[in-house]
Amino acid sequence: MRFDYSDFQTNGIFFPRYFHSLFSIDRKTYSKLEEEYDDFGKDLPFALSEIKKRTTDDYFSKILMAQTGAMNYAEYVFPTYKFIVSDALWDDWLATIDPHKSYCRDHSLHQPLTAYIACKLLGYGDAVQSLLLPNKERLLSYCARQMLESPQMKYLRDYFTELYPNYTRIPKLLYQSFAEDVFYETAIISSIFHDIGYPWQYINRLSSSLRIADPKFASTIGRSLDDILDAVCDRLLAFPFYGYSTVCKARPVSTWKNTLKMLLDRAFRTTHGFPGALGFTFLNDVVRIFPSDLNFNDAVFRFILDWGAVGIMMHDMPRIYKGDKNHSGVPTLRLSFERDPLSSLISLCDILEEFQRPQARFVKSSGALKIDYPDACDYSDLTISGGKITITYRFKDLNTAIKMKSIRKEEVADYLNLMNGYIDLSQLGVKSVECRVIS
C-alpha cells in the first residue's frame, strides 16, 4: 500500500461525521471564548498571510489545502481548534527554522497527511477495503473486534458503559458495525490533531537554558503536577500509566502516586504528545455542556474525544517507554493492538508519514541569505507478505537516501522490532519487519 502526496490530492481524507459535537456545546461559553479571541487572538487570514510571506509558494499552497480540510472538519468535531490554529501554524514555522534542534521538520502538513495514511489503511471507513493483516483479518474489522472482545480492553468497554449505561440496549447485531464507525472516526480525529502539542514542547525547549539563569521561572512553565494529575486521573488518559488495567487503576498501591507524578512530569516536559493530549482535552471540555446525562450521540462523541486524546498522548511515548541514561524505562507503556489499537495505529501512521515533510534550508550566496523548504521523500510504502511487513521509503536522490538510511531504519526498529519495539505486532501474526530505503 503506497502513500504519497499525489494520492492525497486525488483521494483526500474521508472525514466521518457519524458523531459530532454540534449539540453538546455550551453556546454561551463558546460565544464568550469567541469574544475573547476576537479581542486578543490573531485571525486566521492574517496568520496565513504571515506564513505565506515566510514560505515558498509550493509549500504554502500545500499547507493551505491540508489545513483547510482540517479546519472544516474541526467545525464539527473540535470547534475550539479555531482559537489555537493561528498560533499553532506560527509555532510550527518557528520550530521548523529553530536552531535549538538540528533536525526540525514540518507539522502543519504532516498532521493531515498522517490522517490520510490512517484513512487509507482503514479503507476510508470501509472494513472490507482496509489493510489485510498477516492473520488474514482486515485492519478495521480487527481493531473493532478488539474493542468488543479483547480481555485487555475491558477498561475501554467499562469507560464507555459509565458514559452511556444504556449501552446494552444497542442490538448486538450492530455491535461490530458500531465499533468500526467509532474506531474509524476516533482514528481520523486523533491523527489529524496528533501533533497539536508542539507549541508546548517548543516553549519547553526555549525555556531549557533558563534553568541555569532563572530556575524558578523555568520550573513553573506550564501546569503544576497536581493540576496535571487532577486533569488526568478520572479520564482515559490515566489508563496507560496503570498498564491499561481497570484493577490497577481502581486499586493502586500506596507508592504509585509519587511514581505517577514523576512520569507525568517527564511526559509533560519531554514529549509533545502529552501536553497535546491535555490541551486537546481542555479545549473540548471548556465548551462542553456539563453536568447533564448524555444522550447516545453525546456519550459516543465524548468517548471518541477521550480516546482520541490517548492516541495523541501515546504516539510520542517511546522514549518514556524505553528510558534513557537518566531514567529507567516503563515496560507497561508498550503499545499493542490487543489493548490499544488506536495508539498503535496512530504511531504506525506517524512513522509512515515521511513524504512531503519540508525542512528549512538556508543558503548563503554573494552575501545574501536564501531559505527554501525542500522535502526529501517521494513516498512511503507498506507491504505484507506472509508474516513479513516491509516498510519502504523512496527518497529523491541517492545522497539523501544514504544520509537518511540509518535514521529511518533506527526509527522503524525503535517502533516495530519484535523483541522490544514500542508497538507489539505479534498478535497480528507478524513474524518479521524490514525497512528499505531507496532512491
Q: What is the mean pLDDT of the chain?
A: 90
Instruction: Sort strands 388-395 and 432-438 into parallel, antiparallel or unpaired.
Output: parallel
Residue range 281-326, pLDDT digits in tens? 999 999 998 888 889 999 999 999 999 999 999 999 999 999 988 8
Q: Quick one: pLDDT at residue 298?
A: 92
Amino acid at 128: V
Is the pLDDT assigned to residue 114 strictly greater than 60?
yes
Cα separation, 285 vs 231, in Å, equals: 11
Cα separation, 72 vs 59, in Å, equals: 20
Is the pLDDT assigned to residue 344 strictly greater than 70?
yes
Residue range 130-163, pLDDT digits in tens? 999 999 999 999 999 999 999 999 999 999 999 9
Is the pLDDT assigned to residue 346 strictly greater than 80?
yes
Residue range 79-108, pLDDT digits in tens? 999 888 888 888 888 888 877 777 777 888
Q: Quick one: pLDDT at residue 47?
A: 85
Cα separation, 134 vs 89, in Å, equals: 39
Per-residue pLDDT band at 218 (split at 50, 70, 90): low
Residues contacting residue 365 through CB under 8 Å, at least 6 positions apart: none
Cα separation, 416 vs 424, in Å, equals: 7
* Closest CA relative to residue 270, chosen from 324, 216, 331, 210: 324
Residue range 363-372, pLDDT digits in tens? 888 888 888 8
Cα separation, 278 vs 433, in Å, equals: 33
Is the pLDDT assigned to residue 236 strictly greater than 90?
yes
Is the pLDDT assigned to residue 165 strictly greater than 60?
yes
Is the pLDDT assigned to residue 111 strictly greater than 60?
yes
Above pLDDT 90, what percent of the chain? 64
Ranges 114-128, 198-212, 277-291, 421-435: which has the least confidence: 198-212
Residues contacting residue 139 through CB under 8 Å, at least 6 positions apart: 121, 122, 123, 130, 131, 132, 133, 345
Residue range 185-205, pLDDT digits in tens? 999 999 999 999 887 777 777
Q: Quick one: pLDDT at residue 180?
A: 97
Taking the whole predicted model, whether its pTM rises above 0.85 is answered as yes
* Closest CA relative to residue 221, chosen from 210, 232, 213: 210
Q: Quick one: pLDDT at residue 192?
A: 97
Ranges 225-229, 296-300, 320-324, 408-412: which has the least confidence: 225-229
Locate cell 510571506: which residue?
53
Q: Contacts by 218-221 with C-beta closer than 8 Å and gap 24+? A: none
Above pLDDT 70, what percent of the chain? 96
Ranges 85-94, 178-187, 344-353, 383-392: which has the least confidence: 85-94
Residues contacting residue 170 through CB under 8 Å, at least 6 positions apart: 178
Q: Quick one: pLDDT at residue 220?
A: 57
Q: Quick one: pLDDT at residue 154?
A: 95
